[in-house]
Amino acid sequence: MLPIPDFIYLASQSPRRSQLLDQLGVRHELLLPDADEDAESLEVQLRSEAPKTYVQRVTGLKLEAALQRMARRKLPSAPVLCADTTVALGRTIFGKPEDAEDAKRMLRALANRPHRVMTAIALGWEHGQAQACSESWVTFADMSEADIAAYVATGEPMGKAGAYAVQGVAAAHIAHMSGSYSGIMGLPLFETAELLRAKGFKI
């Protein structure tokens, strides 16, 4: 019987995900892409792809790339955790904004309209993998053009799905949330803990 590993690899550049794993008390090391890896290409949406299908597929691709990275670097074997978050209004996916104007466009569309935030996670190891997906709802209050411009000027929307971070300044404009707060942040702790417990971690 193989020994239970005492750490995992986190294949994510998000400091929030690392902080959330710390919150669970899970020891982890970052497993980031090599300079020549085109990680952004994994997030390209397929035509007519449903948001949940999209986020689960992208997470699976990230896991495959990370497992190959671990093997290529000849690192000690340990479970690898990947995650991807997407924001959706109906079937329209709101990814990371390209620039400030794109961020404003997204926030105008989301203002005062309930939208879904889905975070898929995948845990992979040498001979298997497991996945889960958290789905939550967020509703912004009405946001004036001045509100939107002031928020975008903070720089917080850049690099964030849907052009906002629930744990940041955006919270001042969020009227209602339901579901997983940590999932909206980018790593649903309940689902993550379940996958890790099934692999033998004590959480």
From first to last of its 203 residues, the chain has per-residue pLDDT tens of 455 668 999 999 999 999 999 999 999 999 999 888 877 778 888 888 999 999 999 999 999 999 999 999 999 999 999 999 999 999 999 999 999 999 999 999 999 999 999 999 999 998 899 999 999 999 999 999 999 999 999 999 999 999 999 999 999 999 999 999 999 999 999 999 999 999 989 88
Tokens standing for 56?
A: 């689960």
Catalytic residue, from 38, 84, 102, 147: name it.
Answer: 84
Residue 2: the pLDDT is 54
Is 8-198 a CATH 3.90.950.10 domain? Answer: yes
Q: What CA–CA distance (Å, rounded) separates 41 from 61?
A: 10
Q: What are the CA-CA distances from residue 137 to residues 9, 33, 84, 113, 181 (Å)?
A: 29, 31, 16, 10, 10
Confirm whether 22 is a catalytic residue.
no
Residue 37: the pLDDT is 82
Residue 123: the pLDDT is 98
The pTM (predicted TM-score) of the whole model is: 0.92
Domain boundaries, given as residue ranges, for the chain: 8-198
